[in-house]
Structure 1
């Protein structure tokens, strides 16, 4: 068992402002590396580095972390067993599941989301892979930052110590890491297109699997009318299982897109992990096009390639929904879709796990509606029934 507990000298207003992180992984190399990456960031504080889920459960109340990075496969108590116990002791804890890219671990990661985990991160299969993966490091740091800061804002400032330094001013979050949504002006809305949509396009990332499940489960009539194409930032295997979950939730045919297959009503197409899904028109028929190009907005699959190609295929007969997610992927494609006459709906900030992607399109003035998650499927259904306001 290894612990890294904050010293008294760090109990200052600056330390209280940092995102407190607990790393739980049975590999001493992996947890040491992750802890070092996080400690390099000025807005993080690693409060513990633990080997098992049981250690995390036993100490979570005393350590009071904002975020826990929880490995799935551990001795004594594994991650999926520890998750509900951690949340029972600390309801506002942000849990990020870490797992390798096996089908079993992908299933467990998606189950963890339904049990209250905030997100997951695919982990290289070996300690050497973790050491050399710049993508894993970047994604981990950004997930901890965005999810941790959001939880800190919702929770409010951490109480000051019993004997604070005299005249010490309270510190806010470091300005360099403040999110673009802070003190943002109200977003201007555009009129919906007067053209009846012939396709529904959905982009999502962090928090997306839960949001997609809620939206797709309510879109039965819409799916019967038009094809639905989804890009969710996910690795291979995860997208396969996501499609299976969405198929069960909706009772419709949901599967990963296949290169060259026709895009038809009654089906939902999910972009496969690690490849961009686009559309093209061949012999006057829309078809799926899979392209193994470079990362777009640090992602593959990315939302922008799908939306840009859809603007060329369906133009003003396109309706796009941007759900919760980090970053700004989808903003460029949404702009081209709107320029072609299409319409965009964004999930609102309050219901988003992270208001990065929907916030980017909203603040760019590209949206015709900005709605809480429970209202999105209802609005989409009304649009496909003829509503244009």
Structure 2
């Protein structure tokens, strides 16, 4: 029985990017590049002939920019889109617009050294394509002997530090949220309705560095609560949501009766940095029954073990349901691990936090 391939269309004005991406993707047994285009106008001609499962899209292109093209696609025939954008502040802001419009993943590219960068980032690129494909249609999971996934670190590689000794009693609640593919839209749904006074929130959204600051700023403008990218030693206080910086892990810590975050380097955990497991594990240790853990849409299993540790420590634990998840990977794994006490649709999750 032949393997059904994920059909991909590449849209990027750089001939080098198109060439390197095509070489990487065509080397995968489950991916077929059905075409490439230097801008959205040429891409539209190709779409009229054959429609892909996933579109890999640059945002800064001649004749028609990626955002305009994305709006057209999402209004006429919604299709999973992976954004391939440069690591610049301007690029980060534009990419946030793309995510708000429904793009499901981000691949960052530097201005120089594109070939080396993409070759080093092959695993991330392939996983992004597969995640995007799963976001649109339910596919049979490919077997591990086909995927050859790289070895995953567990959260044990990030030390928690010494267990807390005698500490002041506190009843202050902490909410910890972990999410990935589809999480940018899901977090907007959760945070925007929250009242100005709500428990302090710590968040891991799988996202590359330089994008989380723009993402947090956008949510801050939309929300009543304050939302910002976390900095090392930031206090976790009511009415504030801290988002782990891309490229850094974030842990919850406690000093006396107050909580703060530690932002730190470290190896990838479950192929991610920041990792949901790293955050949840620290929340289990330092907040225990004072915490609420929420795992939402995303591919993979990051967060499942950490959420189980939270539940075992007495926290209330919640997983987003399948019907409202863009990708029911992370919530499903948490449920299968027995980590989630409750399974809720996305629109019910803000009610838990209030």
* TM-score interval for Structure 1 and Structure 2 normalised by the shorter chain: 0.7 to 0.9
> Is it true that 1:73 corresponds to 2:73 in the alignment?
no
- The match for 2:163 is none
- The match for 1:313 is 286
| TM-fit CA distance, 1:310 | 1.1
Q: In 2, Cα distance between the equivalents of 1:228 and 1:178?
A: 39
Could you give the per-residue CA deviations for residues 144-184 of structure 1, whole angstroms, max 9, x where no partner exists?
11221442438xxxxxxxxxxxxxxxxx77545999xxxxx
| TM-fit CA distance, 1:200 | 0.6
| TM-fit CA distance, 1:54 | 0.9
- The match for 2:335 is 362
| SS of equivalent to 2:350 | helix
Q: Report if aligned partners of 1:57, 1:86 keep a CA contact under 8 Å in 2.
A: no
Could you give the per-residue CA deviations for residues 194-252 of structure 1, whole angstroms, max 9, x where no partner exists?
x987111111111111100010012226xx14211111111222111111122122222
Q: In 2, Cα distance between the equivalents of 1:25 and 1:347?
A: 34
> Is it true that 1:234 corresponds to 2:207 in the alignment?
yes
| Counterpart among 272, 276, 286 of residue 245 in structure 2 | 272
| Counterpart among 78, 81, 85 of residue 99 in structure 1 | 85
> Is it true that 1:61 corresponds to 2:29 in the alignment?
no
Q: In 2, Cα distance between the equivalents of 1:201 and 1:274?
A: 19
Q: Report if aligned partners of 2:12, 2:39 keep a CA contact under 8 Å in 1.
A: yes
Q: Report if aligned partners of 1:95, 1:117 keep a CA contact under 8 Å in 2.
A: yes
Q: Report if aligned partners of 1:56, 1:86 keep a CA contact under 8 Å in 2.
A: no
| TM-fit CA distance, 1:357 | 1.4
Distance change >3 Å, CA 278–CA 61, structure 1 → 2:
same
Specify every segment of 5 or more residues in structure 2 that has no aligned partner in the other structure, as ranges.
148-169
| Counterpart among 310, 322, 326 of residue 295 in structure 2 | 322
**TM-score, length-scaled by structure 2:** 0.87
Q: In 1, Cα distance between the equivalents of 2:131 and 2:204?
A: 21
| TM-fit CA distance, 1:332 | 2.0
- The match for 1:46 is 33
Could you give the per-residue CA deviations for residues 246-303 of structure 1, whole angstroms, max 9, x where no partner exists?
2122222111222123222121111112111112122442221111111111111111
| TM-fit CA distance, 1:85 | 2.5
Q: Report if aligned partners of 1:228, 1:268 keep a CA contact under 8 Å in 2.
A: yes
Distance change >3 Å, CA 150–CA 227, structure 1 → 2:
closer
1:1-389 aligned within 5 A: 14=2, 17-89=4-76, 91-126=77-112, 128-134=113-119, 136-153=121-138, 174-176=142-144, 198-220=173-195, 224-381=197-354
Distance change >3 Å, CA 83–CA 261, structure 1 → 2:
closer
Q: In 2, Cα distance between the equivalents of 1:360 and 1:292?
A: 26
Aligned length: 332
| SS of equivalent to 2:299 | coil
**TM-score, length-scaled by structure 1:** 0.79
Q: Report if aligned partners of 2:253, 2:286 keep a CA contact under 8 Å in 1.
A: yes
- The match for 1:5 is none
Q: In 2, Cα distance between the equivalents of 1:216 and 1:293?
A: 28
Q: Report if aligned partners of 1:97, 1:121 keep a CA contact under 8 Å in 2.
A: yes
| TM-fit CA distance, 1:321 | 0.7
Q: In 2, Cα distance between the equivalents of 1:258 and 1:52?
A: 38
Q: In 1, Cα distance between the equivalents of 2:126 and 2:319?
A: 25
116-125 or 57-66, which moves further after superposition? Answer: 116-125
Structure exhibiting the larger radius of gyration computed from Cα positions: 1
| SS of equivalent to 1:140 | helix
| SS of equivalent to 1:58 | helix
Specify every segment of 5 or more residues in structure 1 that has no aligned partner in the other structure, as ranges.
1-12, 155-171, 180-194, 382-389
| SS of equivalent to 2:236 | coil
Q: In 1, Cα distance between the equivalents of 2:304 and 2:138?
A: 25
Q: In 2, Cα distance between the equivalents of 1:113 and 1:20?
A: 21
Q: Report if aligned partners of 1:19, 1:152 keep a CA contact under 8 Å in 2.
A: no
